[in-house]
Amino acid sequence: MAVRSRSRSSRANWRDPWRLAGLLALLVLLIFIVYPQLWIVTAAFTSDTGEFTLDRFAAFAADDRFTAPLVHSVVVSLAVAAGAALVAVPLAFVMARYRVPGREAVLTLLTMATTSPPFLGAYAWLLLLGSGGIVTKAAREAGVPLPFDSILGVGGIIWVGVWFTFALIFLMVYDAFRAVDPALEEAALSVGSTPWRAHWKVTLPLAVPAIVTGCYLAGMRIFADFGTPMLIGGGYQMLPVVVYQNFMSEVAASPGVAATASIVMVLVSGLALVAQRRIVARRSFAVTGGREQPLRELRGLPRALTLGGIWTALLLGFVPHLVVVLTSFLRWQSGILQWEPTLDNYRRLFEESLQPIVLSFVFAGIACLLALVTGVVVAYIVARKRFRISGPLLNNLVMVPYILPGTVFAIGFILAFNHLPVILTGTALIIVVAYFIRRLPYVMKSIETALAQVHPSLEEAAMSVGAPPRRSFRDVVVPIIRPAVISGGTVGFLQMITELSATVMLYAVPWVTMTVVIFTNAMQPGSPFGVASAMTTVLLVSVYVPLYLLRRRYNIRSI
């Protein structure tokens, strides 16, 4: 009797369409994440003579050339996450609760600020705050003391990191603050709590999942970034740089060492993921379809401070963009900026084919759709289903590409897809798949955060009135998470269209993207940076204009 019923209930489980969807998603991840990147595992556990060994890990742990960068990376990532949260959380709170003039514009700008001009972003800060930078020099000449000589160094990495990531945290936390049922705060007030106490004890804890997820994404972005430390670290060793150097060094590449360090990175970020999951899982749901937050008025000094804070943060977030746009109208000679206005950069750019603009949009567009579909499936399974094997597998696998340097990731792709049964190298498809897989983590995380705020009873209610799961998902879940899906998809798209490090390793003529053009014109110290700046400006404009229109179209109702 017992046995029969058990098999019956498991058969009922198999009818669940999510199980099939989950298996399909798992298959995709196995083919495009595990299979291509398996070589890293192999390299890390094989000695130079080809035998299984753990020596590389022992050597890693014993050598301060590796442990010091590891500690640096962890500390810097935590510092950046904390700093970005300190900027983002108060801003998000004020924006979620008070009537702020230009709200829609600010929100759109913040979405835009989640992407930095590829390749040139950190240069911009150097140009301003380096030892010979514009601001540094001006301050020196005006006799204004600065707390630093140059942005170069660990402080610079953190500074750039904070302004590079705070918008990510903001977007997640803002949605959460908006979603907190005002009744909960009113309840706290009614039992004699002061408003600030109520915020501290009620509102903030409810936003913790979003804050933690935002911090996690921000921290991981820095943890995996090798471009910024390489450019403005001034020799401050961070783990991604070590990995990169050991994979790609022209003098003495040691893939075994690099693979070992990569696996350590994956482990560390796995720990971070566990922590993030723990904290998010412990929290209850913020929304059950309660009331909307009313926006309150702000007057006088608080209003001035709020506006000042928001626009200062935005300005700092957009420093790279502004500098790049400005310098695209100046003459560069052998990589050195001349203070002469010119349109020459654009003339040279438009002499060449404009096909990269179209290709970038096509690649990122398709990849973004793929990421959205897969992201929704994975996020839904992770957030809702108690699948014992595929659930945790999906959740952990999907994050792997977030940590691997793009170049390393691309090497795996070439190794895996340059031979039968699947040949993708040299095609445009490999770029699309690479974008899709590399940026899936972000898309998936933002959908997961949104789903965590949709109480499961909303779907059960739909089923109880006769809607099959697919229908209830479509009619209930999708409309509720749509704003988050759109904003997650948008940020994902932005990150795809600005993807460079994997593209450079994978592209083949004629599949040249905008980032490749930018990179080609800025790759060497003496390269024509002006053309790169001009292409970046074209990229930013061509991405931001549709983004602005999209936000206008979709977000008015949700605000």
Give the footprint of other proteins on residues 209-248 (CB under 8 A): 229-231, 233-235, 237, 241, 245, 247-248
429 belongs to the binding site for other proteins (CB under 8 A): yes
Write the CA distances from 9 to 2, 5, 383, 417, integer angstroms.
Answer: 11, 6, 22, 41
Instruction: For other proteins, give the closer residue by CB, 229 or 401.
Output: 229
Instruction: HSE, CB side, 13 Å, CA atoms: give it for residue 101.
Output: 7
What DSSP element (H or E) covers 236? none
Considering only residues 130-159, where is the footprint of other proteins by CB under 8 A? 130-133, 150, 152
Each as own residue / partner, the long-range contacts of residues 24-28 (CB below 8 Å, 24 or more positions apart, any chain) are 24/377, 25/374, 25/377, 25/378, 25/381, 25/394, 26/390, 26/393, 26/394, 26/397, 28/374
Q: Which region, left, alpha or beta, applies to residue 116 given φ > 0 means left and ψ of -120 to 50 means alpha?
A: beta
List the one residue from 428, 491, 539, 540 that touches other proteins (CB under 8 A).
428
Task: Name the token pair of 37.
Answer: 């990147």
Cα atoms in the 13 Å half-sphere on the side-chain side of 141: 7
Total residues contacting other proteins (rule CB under 8 A)? 100
Complex with other proteins: residue 85 or 531, whichever CB lies closer: 531
Distance CA 155, CA 161 (A): 10
Site for other proteins in 450-489 (CB under 8 A): 455, 457-458, 460-469, 471-472, 474-476, 479-480
Which CB, 163 or 519, lies closer to other proteins? 519
Interface positions, 173-192, toward other proteins (CB under 8 A): 183
**Range 268-307, binding other proteins (CB under 8 A):** 287-292
Q: Confirm or reject binding of residue 355 to other proteins (CB under 8 A).
A: no
Rule CB under 8 A: say whether 12 interacts with other proteins: yes
Kindly state the smallest distance separating residue 238's Cβ from other proteins, in Å.
Answer: 9
Q: At residue 131, what is the residue type?
A: S
425 sits near other proteins (criterion: CB under 8 A): yes
* Interacting span for other proteins (CB under 8 A) from 7-15, 27-35, 54-62, 167-175: 7-15
| Smallest separation, CB 217 to other proteins (Å) | 25
Residues 372-401, interacting with other proteins (CB under 8 A)? none
In the numeric block, which tokens belong to residue 223? 């943890």
Rounded to a whole number of angstroms, the minimum distance from the CB of residue 300 to other proteins is 30
Phi, psi of 453 (to 5 degrees): -100, -5
CB of 2 to other proteins, least distance (A): 5
Restricted to residues 87-116, the positions that interact with other proteins (CB under 8 A) are none
Interface with other proteins (CB under 8 A), residue from 27, 54, 315, 369: 369
Residue found under tokens 């988050």: 484
Position 353 contacts other proteins (CB under 8 A): no
Contact residues for 114 (Cβ-Cβ < 8 A; gap 6+): 167, 168, 171, 491, 494, 495
Instruction: Single out the residue of 99, 343, 524, 552 in contact with other proteins (rule: CB under 8 A).
Output: 524
Host H or E run for residue 267:
helix 255-282
